[in-house]
Amino acid sequence: MTIIGMGYQNVIEVLQTRARQQPNDRIFVFLKDGETESAGLTYFQLDRQARVIAAHLQSLNLAGERALLLYPSGLEFISAFFGCLYAGVIAVPAYPPRPNRSFQRIQSIIQDAQAIAILTTSTLYPSLASKLAPRLPPQFQHWIATDTLTFDLAPQWQKVSIQSETIALLQYTSGSTNEPKGIMVSHGNLIHNQQQIQQIFGHDHQSIVVGWLPLFHDMGLIGNVLQPLYLGSQAILMSPIDFLQKPLRWLKAISHYQAHTSGGPNFAYDLCLSKISLEQREQLDLRSWQVAFNGAEPIRAETLQKFRDYFLPCGLSRTALTPCYGMAEATLMITAKHQGTEPLFLSLDSQHLQQNQVKLNQATTSYHLVGVGQSQNHCQIVIVDPETYRTCDPDQVGEIWITGKSVAQGYWRNTRASRESFQAYLKDTGQGPFLRTGDLGFLYKGELWITGRLKEIIIIRGANYYPQDLEILAQQNHPALRLNGGAAFAVEKNGIEQLVLVQEIERSYLNNPPVEEIATVVRQAIAAEYDLHLQTLVLIKPASLPKTSSGKIKRVACRADFLQQRLPILAKWESSQGELDRAFLATDICPQSNFSQADIASWLQMRLAVYLRLSPDKIDIEQCFDYYGMDSVQVVSAMEDLSAWLGENFDVTLFWQYPSIAALSEHLASQKISRQTHP
């Protein structure tokens, strides 16, 4: 296999080479509504737009500074990202909060990155500026709407000196709001990881990529934007919202454009299984799909097997499903199953695994794992005892440490955290430095196997959340909850990672803890701030939460106590979010031609009750949707169902523009009347 671009020192050289050699080839196509081509960029056009934006940034003397990129998923973001690279500006990708959501995380990123400019679109600028302007730090200087810049700026661009070690971007993972950590990713990191992806996935210049992942996310940016550019191929992109609203759009794009590579977290494959009917499946031709990568959250053997079996009639190859493992601290990819081989599965003895011992067991009580492949391109993996820093025996589970040219430089302006994570050395050999991943696993038959997390970070739908943020938020929203008395963690239920909060209550609430009231305010707060759905709330006695002698919360121990039903529970609230009963939905999702506001309101009330597993009489039509703690997946699914019931396609933003059942039903009814009166 030919290794592409071995001589590249930076990402700018890649785009400039493509613009010279294949200027009129389309590199990016964006699908409006996930189906219709609405915009595209050739290599020449992308290079020109990058020069335009870079010239403007250079006129403001921003070389070496940080610029926040706040764009919806689309081509404007891509142009702005390359504009920053061309100008020697460190790009800081982020995502504009949706309406009525907190800007606290964006503020924290701006403060930590010391960003002095924000790049966005002229459409988003007014709302962003009105909410962010009063909160911007003193060093901030510039708002730039990049879509207003004109092509006559392009000749003014001056080439800058970019070395392999020059920082290209700060990648802020979806972690702590209070202590954000920006990962310093260099041009050399990006080039090395592109080589690794190309080698493992068997890519060449004809390997078309289809992507729906957020472009500010490392998997979306580095996998779906930079890899096609590196290859000289093409990427077909759509909004994450359009995928969530109708997962069929993703597979139809793969089928229509005959894509070689596409993927996402495990939940995306589960969503396809639950949302794509047998009739819809008949539309698909998946013979071209050679790499269906699955990563960013725990990979379930059952999901892979069900997805393979369900879509085999569409021509899906048995070797297409590609478990992989990576993290932003390693740019993106660390390991993946090599192309042309089937995924490997192991059944381990659960009791031995709890003792960090690897023992094969085919019993029904065994723990099923998916192999996440091998490393490539001189990336070394070792399994280490996290307490002694010594190499583990082959039959032991330990922390995964890695080293290689894809490992980032560290965390921006955070020497202590960088030293702890990026500068680990083996005590038995002195070898290092290694990146401590915080993940637990082992090596078997040349493959890496992930068993869990050493760190307490919660991973849901491929996004990271820090438990202390969720705990503090809950405690701030109800006086019954004791400060420093909670533990948030995730558990798997029905194949999906679900959020659980175990919380001590104040002694004054012991006799009759108002669990429903507490659950309502906590659920609402967590959904509003983090777009997460609270599955379970457990209230326990004061001083009963597992802690160390120094008072630190033992979240891993608390999770184990929860699963083994050892907690001193006073009250428990649980939402059966789960998978919807599609047979129930089919009884009333059929296009309606005549309806009133009351009809729509009643339907929405029933539908939310189904999603939230609440009695319909507990759904107040005047309450905001956020009040019920709906996350983005639930909102998008509800809008999809509403569109099907009314026989029209509605934009998901209506849920935020008209944020209650009463407001939304009134708007939809008035729109229908208006169309009937003025056809």
Instruction: Decide if 629 contacts 524 (C-beta within 8 A).
Output: yes
H or E stretch including 163?
Answer: none
What gap in Å lies between CA 164 and CA 405, rounded to an integer?
11
H or E, element range at 218: helix 218-218
- Packing angle of the helix pair 515-530, 467-476 (nearest 10 deg): 130
Of the two residues 92 and 217, the one the predictor is more confident about is 92
**pLDDT computed for residue 578 by the predictor:** 39
Partner residues linked to 450 by β-bridges: 441
Q: Are strands 345-348 and 367-370 parallel, antiparallel or unpaired?
A: antiparallel
What is the spatial distance between Cα 527 and Cα 242, in angstroms, rounded to a whole number?
21
Given a cut of 50, is residue 151 above it in pLDDT? Answer: yes
> Beta-strand (E) ranges in 202-278?
209-211, 235-238, 261-264
pLDDT value at 176 more than 70: no
Instruction: Give the residue-averaged pLDDT of 112-123.
Output: 97
Q: Sorting pLDDT into bands at 50, 70 and 90, what band is 174?
A: low
| Nearby residues of 415 by Cβ (< 8 Å), 6 or more positions away | none
**DSSP string across 553-581:** B-HHHHHHHHHTT-S-EEEEEE---S---
User: What percent of the chain stands above pLDDT 70?
Assistant: 92
- Comparing 37-51, 186-200, 632-646, which segment has the lowest mean pLDDT? 632-646
Q: Which residue has the higher pLDDT, 653 or 403?
A: 403
Q: What angle do CA 322, 531, 635 make, to 5 degrees?
A: 85
Query: H or E stretch including 186?
Result: strand 182-186
Query: What SS3 class is residue 149?
Result: coil
Residue 544 backbone phi and psi in degrees, to 5? -110, 0
Can you list the alpha helix ranges (DSSP code H) found in 60-118? 75-87, 104-113
Helices (H), 276-313: 278-281, 301-311
CA 101 to chain centre: 18
| CA–CA distances in Å: residue 334 to residues 297, 316, 338 | 14, 25, 12
Bridge partners, 453 (sequence order): 439
Phi, psi of 674 (to 5 degrees): -60, -40
Rounded to 5°, the CA angle 532-536-542 comes to 115
Q: How far apart are CA 577 and CA 460, in angstroms?
A: 14
Cβ 546 vs Cβ 559: under 8 Å: no
pLDDT of 381 reads 97
For residue 676, what are the CA distances in angstroms to 593, 609, 643, 647, 673? 11, 31, 18, 15, 5
As a whole number, the mean pLDDT across the chain is 89
How large a percentage of the chain has pLDDT more than 90? 63
Q: How far apart are CA 500 and CA 508, in angstroms?
A: 24
Tokens of 343: 């995924």
Residue 585: pLDDT over 70: no
Most confident of 24-28, 130-134, 173-177: 24-28
Which domains occur in the chain, in start order? Answer: 11-23+40-207+215-231 (3.40.50.12780), 329-453 (2.30.38.10), 466-574 (3.30.300.30), 582-677 (1.10.1200.10)
Per-residue pLDDT, 363? 63
678 DSSP assignment: -
Query: Which pLDDT band, with edges at 50, 70 and 90, does 582 fall under?
Result: very low
Per-residue confidence (pLDDT) for residue 627, from 0 to 100: 74
Tokens 């302006």 belong to residue: 413
432 Rama class: left (phi>0) / alpha (psi -120 to 50) / beta: left
Reported as a single tens digit per residue, the pLDDT across 219-242 is: 999 999 999 999 999 999 999 999
pLDDT at residue 599, rounded to an integer: 82
- The 10 Å Cβ neighbour count of residue 72 is 18
pLDDT at residue 117 is higher than 50: yes
- Per-residue pLDDT of 317-338, as tens digits, reads 999 999 999 999 999 999 999 8
Would you state the pLDDT for residue 548? 74
Q: Higher pLDDT residue, 610 or 661?
A: 661
Residue 59 pLDDT more than 80?
Answer: yes
pLDDT recorded at residue 269: 96
Pair 109, 102: CB distance under 8 Å? no
pLDDT in tens, 514-534: 999 999 899 988 988 888 889
Tokens representing 480? 């019954």
Examine the pLDDT at 557 and tell me if it is beyond 60: yes
Residue 269 CB neighbours (<10 A): 24
Measured between alpha carbons, how far is 69 from 60 in angstroms, rounded to an integer? 16
For tokens 């944020």, the residue is 659
Q: Average pLDDT in the 586-591 region?
A: 43
Q: How confident is the model at residue 32 (pLDDT cuts 50, 70, 90)?
A: very high
Task: Check: CB of residue 434 under 8 Å from CB of residue 424.
Answer: yes
Rg of the chain over CA atoms, in angstroms?
A: 25
Q: Please check whether residue 208 is in contact with residue 257, taking contact to mean a CB–CB distance below 8 angstroms.
A: yes
Using alpha carbons, select from 171, 84, 80 the residue that is nearest to residue 120.
Answer: 80
pLDDT for the residue 458: 85
CA 440 to chain CA centroid, nearest Å: 21
